[in-house]
Structure 1
Amino acid sequence: MFSVAALTLFAFAFASGVRGESHTITFTNKCGSGTPTLIQNGNVLSTGGAYTTNGPISAAIAYLQTGSCGFNGEDCTLLEVTLQNPTSPGSGSSVDLSLIPPHAFSVTSGFGYYNGCEGAGADCSSADCPTAFHSSGDTTVQVACQDDNVDLAITFCD
């Protein structure tokens, strides 16, 4: 039989126990038009509302659908998103802006992590922005985060 102290300790450990992996992506659209779009594996996950996943989200894309973007963000400023808790050094979250053709600058776009890695992010306000991929070799523009359960804020036209 368990003692009261053991049950109390178990209850405390359970209540403060390990939280499962979770990430939220939020959008702010200051452009006055357009629809923030989040897609993963050909599935639309969000058209402007906050999106929360109880686990990692890998190889997702986000962009502001202005009417001139293809389904996969063609002809528009693209964000590439992977949010995951690191299992080894360097294996956590990574987000970047991409202007690799067929993607092209369309609207000012930016992102920043929150609930971890505060201050880490990037903005792109022109076709020649140095914080975006212009070719596949521009790997230094990826913004990594090694914190668990980090969230992401994406802003258009800020």
Structure 2
Amino acid sequence: MFSLLLSTVLLAVIGAHAETHEVTFTNNCGSGTPMLIQGPNVLSTGGTYVSNGPLISAIAYLQTGPCGFNGEGCTLIETTLVNPTTPGSGSSTDISLIPPHSFSVSSGFGYFSGCDGAGADCTSADCTTAFHQSTDTQVQVACQADNVNLAITFCD
């Protein structure tokens, strides 16, 4: 009986502290479909996505017609949302215009429920807040908060 009670309490404590992350979209462009992709999986086509655990190597873009499945030909947002286990090992998000990606619509992101105010916007093909080549690592926006969420906006 005691072990059942202890197991129940432990599960409740673990569940209360489980890692979660939310990705939301705002599309002010008037057309197009927001896409959230992880590997071969479509996680969202514009609705809020909740990850029960880390969200590793996900991409987002606005499908306006010519975008490839992995955002080829479009402005790409890349993200990993993960609770940090050591200093510097938390979440990171960026905008990429490295070919085969290219500017398609103004795109931006911002963290919320942790690291509020941290983010980036790219409103033109020559924006300085996006990767244009793989060495542009200064454009990555890190967040070291647990359970941080991400808001993505198209056509600010």
Q: Same fold (TM over 0.5)?
A: yes
- Label 1:85 to 1:157 Cα distance change in 2 as closer, same or farther (>3 A): same
RMSD: 1.9
Structure number, greater radius of gyration:
1
- Alpha-carbon separation, structure 2, partners of 1:91 and 1:122: 20
- Superposition deviation, residue 15 in structure 1: 6.9
Q: Which runs of 5+ in 2 are unaligned?
A: none
Write the distance in 1 (CA, Å) between the matches of 2:89 and 2:13: 29
Of 138, 141, 149 in structure 2, the residue corresponding to residue 140 of structure 1 is: 138
Tell me what 2:150 maps to: 152
Separation in 2, partners of 1:18, 1:137: 40
Cα shift at 1:49: 0.2
Q: Which residue is equivalent to 1:37? A: 35
Q: Percent identity?
A: 73
TM-score normalised by length of structure 1 = 0.90
Counterpart of 1:58, as a letter, is I
Where do 5+ consecutive residues of structure 1 fail to align?
Answer: none
Distance 2:24 2:15 in 1: 27
Q: What aligned pairs does 1:17-36 form with structure 2 within 5 A after superposition?
A: 18-36=16-34
**Deviation for aligned residue 1:16:** 10
Residue 48 of structure 1 corresponds to 46
Q: Normalised by the size of structure 2, how large is the TM-score?
A: 0.91
Match of 1:118 among 116, 119, 123: 116
| Match for residue 64 of structure 2 among 56, 63, 66 | 66
CA distance in 2, matches of 1:81, 1:42: 16
1:95-110 superposed matches below 5 A: 95-110=93-108
Letter in 2 for 1:80: E
